[in-house]
Each structure stands twice: as C-alpha cells, then as structure tokens.
Amino acid sequence: MPLEKSASGKLLVDRDGALTTVTLNRPDIHNALDRELSAELNAAVKQINVDRDCRVVVFRGAGDTFCAGDDIKEFNAWKPEDGYWQVRLYQETVNVIEDLVPITIAAVDGVCTGGGLELTLVCDFVVATDRSRWGMPEINWDITPGWGGTSRLGKFAGRRKTKEWNLIGGLFDVTTADRHGLVNRVCNPEHLDGNVDALIEVILAKNPTTLRTTKYFLNKSAELNALQGLWFEGAPQRTPFGEGIRDFVEPESRRSRSALANSLWQA
C-alpha cells in the first residue's frame, strides 16, 4: 500500500507487504507528541493490531531525531482534566504496541527522551545510533512520567538507575542505555537503516506462527515467576512440525535461517 499521511501530516504510515513503518513527523521539534499526533498514533497502532498481513512494525522519527516525548508547550492550553485523559490515551497506545502480534522495532536516532524512551520500552527490538541521547527529564518540568518511565523502565535497568534517571532528570548517552539493557544494537547514523533492514530480513525468514507464539511466551512469562512461566513453554505446540524441522535436518535448507541469524550484526 502507498504511504499514508495522517490528516495533520504529523504521522506517516507506510505499508509495504509484511512491513509497516510508522514515522513521527514533527522533526522541527524533535517529533514531540502533541494531542493531535498522540491520537493519530493511537489510531494507527489499533489499525495495525487487526492487520493479519503485518509481520514487522518499525517505529521511527522524521529527520535526525526519534522523539522528545510530550509537547510541553501545549500544556499551557490544557484544561485541568486533560492530563488524566491524555495519560490514559498514552497508556492505551503503548499497551497495544506491547501486545502486537508483529515484531516491533524502534529505530532511534538523536533525541529519545520522556515519552520517546517510554515508547522504546514496549518494542521488541531497539536499534540506536551512537549519537542518540536518552533520558527521563519530566521532573525538570514539574510533571511525572505517564506511560512506563517509572514502571516498565525498572524492569530493564533496575530500581537504582530508574530512580536516578527519574529523580535527577539528566540525559545520558547510548553507551549507558546499552549497558542497562535499553538497546539491542548501537551503530553509526549512516548504518541505522542497514541494521534495521538486516534485522527485518532475519525476522521474516522465521515461521510466522512460531515467531508470534514465542513472542507471546516471552511477554507473558516476563510478568510471572520462573515456574509459572514454564507453563507456557509446556503448553501444546501451536505449530505443526514441518518446515523448521526440515531446515534443521537438511543442511542445505538449514543454511538459510541459521546463516541469517548467525551473521546478523557481526560487523
């Protein structure tokens, strides 16, 4: 399908076969999320959620930046009750993204702060450039995180760093983000697209049923203890044995998936 531009032009959605790319399109202000863009992003991910042909979703920002989170200047025009409803919308959006059947990838360049960082927390993979800047600066503007900065973040980085980043509000580099489990791959800006494309190729080479079942196991087990999580792995197989087993037994077939997986990001 051709590139779709939202009514405001602040969100771009490109559907190309099994791949959907969602681009936040306000590069002049680091793709900050105003109410209009937030609503359009919410509608877009709900649409993807029922698209059975989609297997991979890439979230990215226009220009040389990912997302700076909320458009703080807009808060001056809000009514007292607007904050409550906006946070509910944000939380619904990231909950839908986290539970999507397709594999989700955040392609991060430049600024990745506040809601931008929170968006990456619900993606399956994060590929980031070495110039990206991360942080949870909400406390500096007398606001609190609304969609994962104090809850989901701790599951990646632990309580100590999560408190530091939220209570101090300073920015940190991608090396720190990598060290604390926020990214999968760090690369030069000129190699960002290539690294994302290589990951997409590996994902699309997998059996779709096995992939979505494994993602379901991983997501649900993350909220359980180890013994409870084993229940998912012990449940009856959702995929008939077939192509994957043949790929293992027959060396010529095996090279396709395994070679792609083993060669990913080796450089």
* Sheet containing 171-173: order of strands: 111-113, 133-135, 171-173
Q: Residue 177's CB: how many other CB atoms inside 10 A?
A: 24
**148 within 8 A of 94, measured Cβ to Cβ:** yes
For residue 36, what pLDDT is reported? 95
Q: Which residues are catalytic?
A: 118, 138
pLDDT in tens, the chain (267 residues): 557 878 889 999 999 999 999 999 999 999 999 999 999 999 999 999 999 999 999 999 999 999 999 998 888 887 878 878 888 999 999 999 999 999 999 999 999 999 999 999 999 999 999 999 999 999 999 999 988 999 999 999 999 999 999 999 999 999 999 999 999 999 999 999 999 999 999 999 999 999 999 999 898 876 766 656 565 556 655 555 556 656 666 666 555 777 788 888 776
Locate the domains of the chain by residue range.
Answer: 4-203, 207-263
Q: Which amino acid is at 246?
A: R
Q: Residue 107's CB: how many other CB atoms inside 10 A?
A: 23
**Burial of 184 by CB count in 10 Å (0-12 exposed, 13-18 middle, 19+ buried)?**
middle
CB burial readout 236-247, b (16+ within 10 A) else e: eeeeeeeebeeb
Q: Residue 40's CB: how many other CB atoms inside 10 A?
A: 24
For residue 253, what pLDDT is reported? 55
Question: Considering only the top CATH level, what class is 4-203?
Answer: alpha beta
For residue 1, what pLDDT is reported? 56
Q: What is the DSSP string of 129-166?
A: ETT-EEE-GGGGGT----SSTTTHHHHHHHHHHHHHHH
What is the pTM (predicted TM-score) of this model?
Answer: 0.89
Residue count of the chain, please give it.
Answer: 267
